[in-house]
Amino acid sequence: MNKIDDFEYGQFVMYDGKVMLVYGVPYEEEDEGYPDQIQLTEEKSPRLYDKKEETECTKCILAPVNDVIKLLAVKVSEDTLRSFFRIDTTPWKLCTEKLYPIAKESGSFILSEDDVETFLSRLGSIDPVVYGEWQTQFVFGDHVKTQNEDPNHFTLKMVWNLMRDDFEWYDAEEDEPEYIQAIWDFYKLNKGKELDQINFPDEYKNTVISDIYLSSKENPISDMQKQTYIKLLNEQVTAGDHWAIRHKAYAYYGGNSIVPCDWKKAEETLLKLHNTQTEDAKYAANSLGYIYYSDRLGEPDYDKAFRYFSEAAEYGIIEATYKLADMYRKGHGTKKQTQKAFSTYKNLYENEFEKFKDKHTGCKLADVALRMGYCYENGEGIQSDLFKALEYYQIANNAIDARIAEHKHFGDETVKRNIDNSILRISDKLENTLPDIINENDFNGINLTGRMVYLFMCVEKFLVTIYPEKDWTLVAEKMWPWTEDYWDKGWDRYSVVVPEFLLEYPSYEETSALSYEGNITKEDYNTLIMLYSDITSGDGKQDIDIILMAPIDFCNECEGTSASEALKSTMPIFNTVAEVFRKNHLRLPDIQSVKDFSIEEAGAWGESKDTRNYSIILA
């Protein structure tokens, strides 16, 4: 029996004696209505739109999934691919009169001028269904290449790209013969010409600019290509083409693979972009703010920077908002207002932190956390707190590492360098402020339950400071009830979150049976696996392993001994935790916060009680 999951958009299938394409499968909220049906279309291409987006050109039917036959892709030779392209033959003739898809493994063939001419000469008389298959394989597929060694390589490649762009929307049933003639005329007019001699219609120029630029990112390009790129780009900018204005502005803003950085040209073009009164105008304002704020044009112009950052900030541009706050913090272009700057950073931080927690690693958390660190380090707009400063610098460091790994925006390396320098600077300041060990006298008068609560506080402090982007709720929920019941039950409940136990076996089934005797749900297992996947292997050597194992070690040390002995024998566990905190330049929680757990209570063991009010995660 077929399953809905067996099918995907654009897949060729046979239904009711016809070759069709999969257009969509039911969304979860619609499954109740037709869980065993699939959407099919007889269109030459499903165009791969979202099913919820109604399109006039696509007529879909619902078919029982078990009546749909999957058609296996056919691997063909290079010569056969060429024949398909030229319409010398069709997939019908190859596959006993039935349309089958060409497998991706078929590779590609090298396009020649003769191939292009043959296809264009036949285009006007092609059966629409045959054209639909051609379009699917060669416009939406990847079976055509151009030969780099060919002297006419770039001209032919450009002609093919322009043709492909047109053919993406060409309809063999509806489009007029004049359309085909226009493509022919363009080809014949420019066949064999050098790139700089091709007469590109205005509507093609942006495609040429884009194609040369994309080619330059993959391989070195010729001087002729560079000259053509610059010539067409300038022509389009002079003509007021919005796309070209934006492209040129950001080509020179830092430089790209063809033109070097030129801040003056960037400024001139960004001013044009800013004057377009389009959506791009607000981003142009932000970029102009950066140019004037720095010495990119020789000397900073803080008045202009403040003006453009203010405008961009009004539009909600994050970078402009924190740069505007920078100007308030430093008194550049405006009156110095450190509290206003800090308040702005704080609001931005809270919003960006939520984005980062939701896996939006391209957000600006690193930039605003760095600035929060500056404020706490120097007492700007808030009372100085070096430990708080370091926490924000560490959060900034985690965020920039994630951003560089997945996005690497312009300027990220500079941000990373500033964060690294800040961590080194603050670490030096804190070097002599952290205790080497915790003395038994520090816990004087505090019972064993209170000491366990203190360990829980250490666990939470470490987790939320070192890995603030992660949701540690499940760990806290398994940990804090420990003090409400017998400690062996707490041990069993909490042990599911300890990486050394959780990651000992490779699958849920083995872990559940061998580590937890069936006492871990699959939902909890999957949540924890995702939580730890990028930070520990569970080998017990990482700082997080040591911290999360501390409550287990504490409980084990207390088992089978007297309270007086446990009070002494558990002290090395606290010093192990203190060592990890010192290594990470973290301030330990205040021991005095658990002073109410009197050593006189229950023979120094302490009473069972709900201690979740001490949690910073469950609060």
What is the rounded average pLDDT of the residues 407-422?
A: 90
Check residues 453 and 57 and name the one with the higher pLDDT.
453
Q: Quick one: tokens of 447? A: 């019972």
Phi-psi region of 277 (alpha: psi -120 to 50; beta: other; left: phi over 0): left
User: Which residues, other chains included, contact 152 with Cβ-Cβ below 8 Å and sequence gap of 6+?
Assistant: 113, 192
User: Which residues, other chains included, contact 477 with Cβ-Cβ below 8 Å and sequence gap of 6+?
Assistant: 618
What is the rounded average pLDDT of the residues 375-385?
A: 96
Angle between helices 242-252 and 280-293 (to 10 degrees): 20
pLDDT at residue 56, as a whole number: 44
- Name the least confident of 198-207, 234-243, 507-516: 198-207
pLDDT at residue 92, as a whole number: 45
What is the rounded average pLDDT of the residues 277-299?
A: 94
pLDDT at residue 605, as a whole number: 95
Say yes or no to pLDDT of 49 above 50.
Answer: no
Say yes or no to pLDDT of 183 above 90.
Answer: no
Give yes or no for a contact between 444 and 567, defined as CB atoms under 8 angstroms apart. Answer: no
How many residues are listed for the chain in this entry?
Answer: 619
pLDDT at residue 168, as a whole number: 57
Work out the pLDDT band at 188, boundaries 50, 70, 90: confident
Say yes or no to pLDDT of 536 above 50.
Answer: yes
Work out the pLDDT band at 52, boundaries 50, 70, 90: very low
Query: Residue 395: in which H helix or E strand, if any?
Result: helix 386-406
What is the rounded average pLDDT of the residues 299-312?
A: 96
Say yes or no to pLDDT of 152 above 80.
Answer: no
Query: Residue 15: in which H helix or E strand, if any?
Result: strand 12-15
What is the rounded average pLDDT of the residues 348-367?
A: 93
Work out the pLDDT band at 133, boundaries 50, 70, 90: low
- Name the least confident of 160-174, 198-212, 238-252, 533-547: 160-174
Highest mean pLDDT among 54-58, 89-93, 430-434: 430-434
**SS3 of residue 69 by DSSP:** strand
Give yes or no for a contact between 392 and 372, defined as CB atoms under 8 angstroms apart. Answer: yes
What is the rounded average pLDDT of the residues 126-132?
A: 67
* Global confidence as pTM: 0.70
What is the rounded average pLDDT of the residues 157-184?
A: 64
DSSP string, 523-590: HHHHHHHHHHTTT--SSS-SHHHHHHHHHHHHHHHHTTS-HHHHHHHTHHHHHHHHHHHHHTTPPPPP
User: Which residues, other chains included, contact 259 with Cβ-Cβ below 8 Å and sequence gap of 6+?
Assistant: 230, 251, 252
pLDDT at residue 196, as a whole number: 81
What is the rounded average pLDDT of the residues 441-455?
A: 94
pLDDT at residue 19, as a whole number: 73
pLDDT at residue 429, as a whole number: 86
Highest mean pLDDT among 100-104, 432-436, 528-532: 528-532
Say yes or no to pLDDT of 459 above 90.
Answer: yes
Average pLDDT, rounded, for the chain: 85
Which tens digits make up the pLDDT trace of 493-519?
999 999 999 999 999 999 999 888 878
DSSP 297: T
What is the rounded average pLDDT of the residues 170-178?
A: 57
Check residues 16 and 501 and name the one with the higher pLDDT.
501
pLDDT at residue 20, as a whole number: 78
Q: How far is CA 445 from the centre of its chain?
A: 50
pLDDT at residue 170, as a whole number: 55
pLDDT at residue 173, as a whole number: 56
Check residues 412 and 172 and name the one with the higher pLDDT.
412
pLDDT at residue 250, as a whole number: 96
pLDDT at residue 181, as a whole number: 73
Phi, psi for 110 (deg, rounded to 5)? -90, 120
Say yes or no to pLDDT of 28 above 90.
Answer: no
- To the nearest whole percent, how much of the chain has pLDDT over 70? 83
Q: Quick one: tokens of 573? A: 């566990």
pLDDT at residue 53, as a whole number: 42
| Whole-number Å distance between alpha carbons of 397 and 405 | 12
- Name the least confident of 87-91, 205-209, 554-558, 595-599: 87-91
Work out the pLDDT band at 55, boundaries 50, 70, 90: very low
